[in-house]
């Protein structure tokens, strides 16, 4: 071969080799693709498609088209939505340190920036320990009789009125139980003031955050300031009185790391906020599902009447509430079907490689609890209300009514307890029927039967 041909062959071989190496290196460093999906219009994205219809239609049509991980843009935020149990677990549990909780700034201003849900890391872990200490079974077993007294007086106040709005009444019940678990049973003098201010704060919660006189937001911010003052007074009284009760305020005040009064107030308001509408919505759905399913109502009533007979005029005990498997399954199935929190929010704190896709820093990530609870892959005949399905434990990560991982609900035992106590007295003493249209669902933001479920209630003969 001519030297020139040898030179040319070597040159071509070197070029081919370099090009292939270059391709290999660049493919190793090629960024992963974004998840499939559409981002809609600039800024408004697909907000209208999401909110102009039942949100489930939006989510399920996306899942059908793009699979269980898809991107979209709503309310000015670029989002990745996750509809598979594994993906939800990866964000909430396994890689929780890469995804921080995220809320609009106006919500942080209203509740208080020191509240548990806004944090990660050491401050969050310490608060969580204090909250769990006050709401674990050993702490709340001592307040069963006080919860029972609140349940009985609520039911007695409904009955003479005949027609009530279930959600409204359940909110009052859940508020009173929340105050009991936070402050204990004794201090009552400031409760009315707390209630007035909290209700004003709540009215502003979903309003436009415009802080000028005359707006709901402005009234809410004033009420928030007053709440802080009332709570500072309660804390200072409590310091003088010294108590060894096991309620939440005591747990916060005895923290070795020393929370400031402001941080305590932020967390007291945060817990009322987390405890109230959630528990009241679940209770409202329970009354609806029981009224629509007479066989289930009959089974619950039989279980509760047996407990009533066995307790021979004594009040309910913690042990009684552990012997309610049928009612417990009704609560589980209600939380699955109603999925009152359709999803939660996190934000990627850096670019994250996630199950073959890239989630850019700052994007919101939403595990879709409702889709997971309503997927036929996780629950057979998912639209059917069938508490007996919980006779067998659900597959891992498919049942997340209280979330999962570092931010999962620390109040779940208290929520279940107060629901069991109310259902015990309701089903053993009262009957009720639903009034008005019964198929609609409102999202505000929790899923709720239309108009808060108006019912007629009367004492059993
Ligand atoms: C049936 C009623 C309830 C439901 C369905 C519920 C649901 C949830 C869910 C899904 C989360 C996690 C949210 C997330 O990961 O972003 C959560 C967090 C939380 N819940 Fe509940 N909850 C209920 C009742 C309560 C009660 C009664 C309390 C307190 C007495 C409470 C206190 C909290 C707190 C403080 C957090 C934040 C925890 C953290 O960030 O570490 N919840 N709840």
Instruction: Provide the Cα torsion 130, 133, 134, 140; round to 10°.
Output: 170
Expressed in angstroms and rounded, the spacing between residue 276 Cα and the centre of ligand 1 is 10
Q: Could you tell me the sign of the dihedral formed by the alpha carbons of 41, 44, 45, 51, in that order?
A: negative
Return the pLDDT at 4: 59
**357 Cβ partners below 8 Å, 6+ apart?**
32, 33, 34, 35, 69, 80
**Alpha-carbon span 220 to 211, nearest angstrom:** 9
Return the pLDDT at 352: 95
Expressed in angstroms and rounded, the spacing between residue 178 Cα and the centre of ligand 1 is 12
What string of pLDDT tens digits covers the 461 residues of the chain?
Answer: 565 565 556 555 555 544 444 444 444 457 899 999 999 998 889 988 887 777 888 898 999 999 999 999 988 899 999 999 999 999 999 999 999 999 888 889 899 999 999 999 999 999 999 999 999 999 999 999 999 999 999 999 998 887 999 999 999 999 999 999 999 987 667 888 999 999 999 999 888 888 899 999 999 999 999 999 999 999 998 888 776 677 999 999 987 778 999 999 999 999 999 999 999 999 999 999 999 999 999 999 999 999 999 988 789 999 999 999 999 999 999 999 999 999 999 999 999 999 999 999 999 999 999 999 999 999 999 999 999 999 999 999 999 999 999 999 999 999 999 999 999 999 999 999 999 887 888 887 788 999 999 999 999 97
Q: Burial level of 248, CB count in 10 A (0-12/13-18/19+)?
A: buried
Return the pLDDT at 313: 77
Q: What residue numbers does the annotated binding site for heme cover?
A: 409
Residue 410 CB–ligand 1 contact under 6 Å: yes
Return the pLDDT at 75: 82
Going edge to edge, which strands form the sheet with 163-165?
Answer: 163-165, 454-459, 430-434
Expressed in angstroms and rounded, the spacing between residue 182 Cα and the centre of ligand 1 is 15
- Residue with tokens 């006080």, as numbered in its chain: 146
- Specify the residue with its C-alpha closest to ligand 1, atom 17: 409
- Specify the residue with its C-alpha closest to ligand 1, atom 9: 402
The tally of CA atoms less than 13 A away on the side-chain side of residue 183 is 25
Domains detected in the chain = 98-340+380-459 (1.10.630.10)
Cβ atoms < 10 Å from Cβ of 255: 15
Instruction: Provide the Cα torsion 285, 290, 296, 301; round to 10°.
Output: 120
Kind and range of the H or E run holding 78: strand 77-82
Q: Could you tell me the sign of the dihedral formed by the alpha carbons of 279, 282, 288, 293, in that order?
A: negative
285 closest CA partner among 221, 338, 233, 236: 338
């Amino acid at each position: 071969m001519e030297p020139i041909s040898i030179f040319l062959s070597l040159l071509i071989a070197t070029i081919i080799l370099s090009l292939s190496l270059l391709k290999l290196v660049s493919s190793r460093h090629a960024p992963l693709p974004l998840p499939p999906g559409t981002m809609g219009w600039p800024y408004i994205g697909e907000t209208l498609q999401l909110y102009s219809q039942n949100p489930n239609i939006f989510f399920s049509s996306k899942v059908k088209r793009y699979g269980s991980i898809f991107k979209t843009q709503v309310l000015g935020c670029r989002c990745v939505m996750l509809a598979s149990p594994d993906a939800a677990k990866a964000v909430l549990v396994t890689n929780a340190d890469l995804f921080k909780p995220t809320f609009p700034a106006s919500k942080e201003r209203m509740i208080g920036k020191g509240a548990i849900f806004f944090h990660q890391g050491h401050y969050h872990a310490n608060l969580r320990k204090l909250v769990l200490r006050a709401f674990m079974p050993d702490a709340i077993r001592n307040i069963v009789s006080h919860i029972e007294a609140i349940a009985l007086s609520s039911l007695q106040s409904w009955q003479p009125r005949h027609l009530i709005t279930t959600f409204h009444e359940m909110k009052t019940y859940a508020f009173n139980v929340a105050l009991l678990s936070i402050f204990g049973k004794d201090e009552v003098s400031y409760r009315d003031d707390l209630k007035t201010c909290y209700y004003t704060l709540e009215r502003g919660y979903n309003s436009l955050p415009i802080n000028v006189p005359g707006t709901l937001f402005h009234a809410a911010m004033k009420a928030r300031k007053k709440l802080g003052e009332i709570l500072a007074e309660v804390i200072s009284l409590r310091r003088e009185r010294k108590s060894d009760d096991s309620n939440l305020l005591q747990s916060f005040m005895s923290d070795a790391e020393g929370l400031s009064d402001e941080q305590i107030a932020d967390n007291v308001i945060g817990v009322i906020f987390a405890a109230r509408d959630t528990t009241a919505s679940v209770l409202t759905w329970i009354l609806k599902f029981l009224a629509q399913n007479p066989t289930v109502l009959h089974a619950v009533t039989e279980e509760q009447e047996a407990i009533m007979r066995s307790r021979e005029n004594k009040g309910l005990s913690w042990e009684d509430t552990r012997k309610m498997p049928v009612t417990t399954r009704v609560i589980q199935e209600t939380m699955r079907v109603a999925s009152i929190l359709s999803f939660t929010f996190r934000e990627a704190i850096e670019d994250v490689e996630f199950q073959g896709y890239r989630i850019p820093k700052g994007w919101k990530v939403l595990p879709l609890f409702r889709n997971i609870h309503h997927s036929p892959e996780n629950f057979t005949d998912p639209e059917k209300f069938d508490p007996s399905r919980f006779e067998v434990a659900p597959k891992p990560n498919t049942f997340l009514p209280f979330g999962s991982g570092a931010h999962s609900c620390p109040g779940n035992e208290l929520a279940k307890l107060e629901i069991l106590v109310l259902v015990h007295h309701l089903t053993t003493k009262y009957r009720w029927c639903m009034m008005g249209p019964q198929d609609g669902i409102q999202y505000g933001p929790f899923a709720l039967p239309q108009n808060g479920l108006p019912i007629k209630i009367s004492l059993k003969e």
